[in-house]
Amino acid sequence: MKPTLLVLAAGMGSRYGGLKQMDGLGPNGETIIDYSIYDAVHAGFGKVVYIVREHFKPQFEELVEKKYSHVLCTDGTPLRFEFVTQELDKIPAGLTYNPERQKPWGTAHAVLMAKDVINEPFAVINGDDYYGKESFAIIAKWLTAHDNTSGHYCMVGFELDHTLSESGGVSRGICSADRSHFLTHVEEHHNISKAGDGNVYGENSRGERVCLDGKALASMNMWGFTPDYFEKSEAIFKDFIAKNLNELKAEFYIPYAIDCMIKDGSAKTELLSTPSHWFGVTFKEDRPGVVAKFKEFADKGIYPSPLY
How long, in residues, is the chain?
Answer: 308
The reported pTM is 0.93
Mean pLDDT per block of 10 residues along the chain (308 residues) reads 93 46 84 94 97 83 85 95 88 78 87 96 95 98 94 97 92 95 94 93 92 96 97 94 83 93 96 95 89 96 94
- Residue 21 sits in a domain whose CATH number is 3.90.550.10
User: Is 308 among the domain residues?
Assistant: no
- CA distance linking residue 229 with residue 227, whole number of Å: 5
**3 state SS of 66:** helix
User: Is 182 among the domain residues?
Assistant: yes
What does the pLDDT read at residue 281? Answer: 85
User: Is 72 among the domain residues?
Assistant: yes
User: Is 181 among the domain residues?
Assistant: yes
What does the pLDDT read at residue 95? Answer: 74
What does the pLDDT read at residue 15? Answer: 38
- What is the extent of the structural domain holding 279? 4-299
User: Is 8 among the domain residues?
Assistant: yes
User: Is 188 among the domain residues?
Assistant: yes
What does the pLDDT read at residue 12? Answer: 43
What does the pLDDT read at residue 100? Answer: 81
> Quick count: other Cβ atoms within 10 Å of Cβ 199?
11
Counted domains in the chain = 1
What does the pLDDT read at residue 137? Answer: 98
What does the pLDDT read at residue 1? Answer: 85
Q: What pairing do the DSSP bridges indicate for beta strands 217-225 and 152-159? A: antiparallel
What does the pLDDT read at residue 53? Answer: 85
Indicate the residue type of 153: Y
User: Is 304 among the domain residues?
Assistant: no
User: What DSSP assignment string belongs to 85-104?
Assistant: E--TT---TT----TT--S-
Q: Are 190 and 169 within 8 A, CB to CB?
A: yes
User: Is 307 among the domain residues?
Assistant: no
What does the pLDDT read at residue 79? Answer: 95
